[in-house]
Amino acid sequence: MDFSFTAEQQRYADQIREFAEERVAPFYQEGDVTGEMRPGLPAELAGQGLMGLRVPVEQGGLGAGCVTTGLALEELARADFNACYGVLQAALIADVIVHNATSEQRARWLPAIASGRALVALCLTEPEHGSDAAAIGLRAEPDGSGGWRLHGVKTSIMLGAYATHGLVFARTGGPGARGVTAFYLGLDDARVTRARTRDLGGRAAGRAELEFDGLPASPGEVVGGEGLGFVQVMRGFDYSRALISLMCLAAAGVSLDEANEHVRTRQAFGGPLGRFQGVAFPLAEHAGYLRAARLLAYEALWLKDQGRDPAVPANMAKAWAPRAAVEACHQALLTFGQLGWSESLPLAQRLRDVIGLEIGDGTAQVTRLVVARRLLGREHAP
Ligand SMILES: Cc1cc2nc3c(=O)[nH]c(=O)nc-3n(C[C@H](O)[C@H](O)[C@H](O)COP(=O)(O)OP(=O)(O)OC[C@H]3O[C@@H](n4cnc5c(N)ncnc54)[C@H](O)[C@@H]3O)c2cc1C
């Protein structure tokens, strides 16, 4: 067993840490106030290879493994949790395209993702169907000449306010999972109306509702085959749960680092606060939880890099890591006393931002359902 990253992985992580501290972190709190993503951000991230982590080299990406992708996201999340969404979605959707699209589609779509020209969103959730995603109702109606027109509403779409393209799941057939098809579609179209949501956190990431009013979709925009959107394309989704876990853990980790630094220097009762066990032990305890959850997430990514199934550790990580991160962020905030409550520090914002991913991409209950199904067998699944 070897717990170390390769020299190449470590070099890339160091590069991203330096870039993120210099070019990304200074804007984290500003994004919370303006509620907007910086216009140049995707291009800057692409300049570091971050939008093309999972895009093969032939299509202009880095062709990086999943472990390297996790490392890069951790470094970015330490600086700006919300800047991660573009990188996360690009990694997930590029991976879906690589594994499910034709070579012609890969050549058409992937270079734009890697260069940051295409900002991609995952369009699955609907107002009436969230956890029960196989029940989605957005209709792809046949247009009479081999294509479709999309009618319906997607909600809670991260980057929905900005995305140029979406991986859109729509119903082309009957009820249930086998009636769902995945399309890769341009969203800059008058037949797509966007409405932003006002949120507790993640404010610079443009979560939005998208209404489709007859958006055309051609057979060349189907990913993986008609009716395979859920049963095949969605299989790529487990690994993004490990990536999300690492984002949350990294945001909490930097908060704990800051809290440790604070209690080294903050004087009370005749010395530094850190010498009181009531202060130091909770920080040590949360550091242990973050470390354990991080191993689970990296096990999932490592398994996927080996061509093995990451579903169990990825879903275990997603069920636990965001909650562990929320609790660690909360403890770090309290450790700063009144300063932690103030928005002059990013601690409160990190807490609000991380809570979102207790819900996004599957709640703890839903990810535990996946694990339970594997442990008990499908016949015991609801
Ligand atoms: C920050 C954030 C980002 C998101 N990004 C995207 C995105 O980019 N694209 C996208 O398509 N969606 C996105 N979502 C939507 C997200 O995936 C859904 O909100 C999530 O899947 C839950 O669906 P729901 O909100 O409809 O809740 P519901 O499905 O209505 O669930 C409500 C509650 O019931 C629980 N529950 C439901 N079913 C069960 C069950 N069988 N057993 C036990 N408990 C159950 C849930 O855990 C939850 O606590 C995002 C959400 C957030 C908050």
112-171 per-position pLDDT tens digit:
999 999 999 999 999 999 999 999 999 999 999 999 999 999 999 999 999 999 999 999
Among protein residues, the one whose CA lies closest to atom 44 of ligand 1: 365
What are the beta bridge partners of residue 139? 151, 171
Among the atoms of ligand 1, which is closest to the Cα of residue 359? 53
Among the atoms of ligand 1, which is closest to the Cα of residue 85? 8
The pLDDT, as a whole number, for residue 234 is 84
Classify domain 233-380 at the CATH superfamily level: Butyryl-CoA Dehydrogenase, subunit A, domain 3 (1.20.140.10)
Q: Is the pLDDT of residue 380 over 90?
A: no
Among the atoms of ligand 1, which is closest to the Cα of residue 124? 11
pLDDT single digits (tens) 47-92: 999 999 999 999 999 999 999 999 999 999 999 999 999 999 999 9
CA 15 to centroid of ligand 1, rounded, Å:
35
CA 132 to centroid of ligand 1, rounded, Å:
8
Q: Are 285 and 332 in contact (CB under 8 A)?
A: no
Q: 165-171 and 120-123 as β-strands: parallel, antiparallel, unpaired?
A: parallel
Mutate to test the pocket of ligand 1, among 85, 125, 367 (most ligand atoms within 8 A of CB): 125
177 Cβ contact list (under 8 Å, min separation 6): 134, 230, 231
Q: Are 43 and 118 in contact (CB under 8 A)?
A: no
The pLDDT, as a whole number, for residue 1 is 87
Among the atoms of ligand 1, which is closest to the Cα of residue 123? 11
Among the atoms of ligand 1, which is closest to the Cα of residue 125? 11
* Class of 121-223 in CATH: mainly beta
At residue 197, what is the residue type? T
Question: How far is Cα 66 from Cα 184, in angstroms, rounded to an integer?
Answer: 22
52 Cβ contact list (under 8 Å, min separation 6): 46, 59, 60, 61, 62, 90, 94, 110, 113, 114, 115
Q: Which residue has the higher pLDDT, 236 or 315?
A: 315
CA 269 to centroid of ligand 1, rounded, Å:
46
Q: 318-351 burial string, b = 16+ CB within 10 Å, else e?
A: bbbbbbbbbbbbbbbbebbeeebeeeebbbbbbb
| Domain span(s) for CATH 1.20.140.10 in the chain | 233-380
Mutate to test the pocket of ligand 1, among 359, 368, 373 (most ligand atoms within 8 A of CB): 359
CA 59 to centroid of ligand 1, rounded, Å:
33
The pLDDT, as a whole number, for residue 15 is 98
CA 130 to centroid of ligand 1, rounded, Å:
5
Q: 208-217 and 148-157 as β-strands: parallel, antiparallel, unpaired?
A: antiparallel
| Domain span(s) for CATH 1.10.540.10 in the chain | 7-118
Residues within a 6 A CB radius of ligand 1? 122-125, 130-131, 156-158, 202, 356-357, 359-363, 365-366, 369
| Domain span(s) for CATH 2.40.110.10 in the chain | 121-223
> How much of the chain exceeds pLDDT 70, in percent?
100
To the nearest whole number, what is the mean pLDDT of the chain?
Answer: 97
183 Cβ contact list (under 8 Å, min separation 6): 140, 148, 150, 167, 168, 169, 170, 217, 221, 222, 223
Question: Given phi > 0 = left and psi -120 to 50 = alpha, else beta, which region is 185?
Answer: beta
> 7-118: which CATH architecture?
Orthogonal Bundle (1.10)
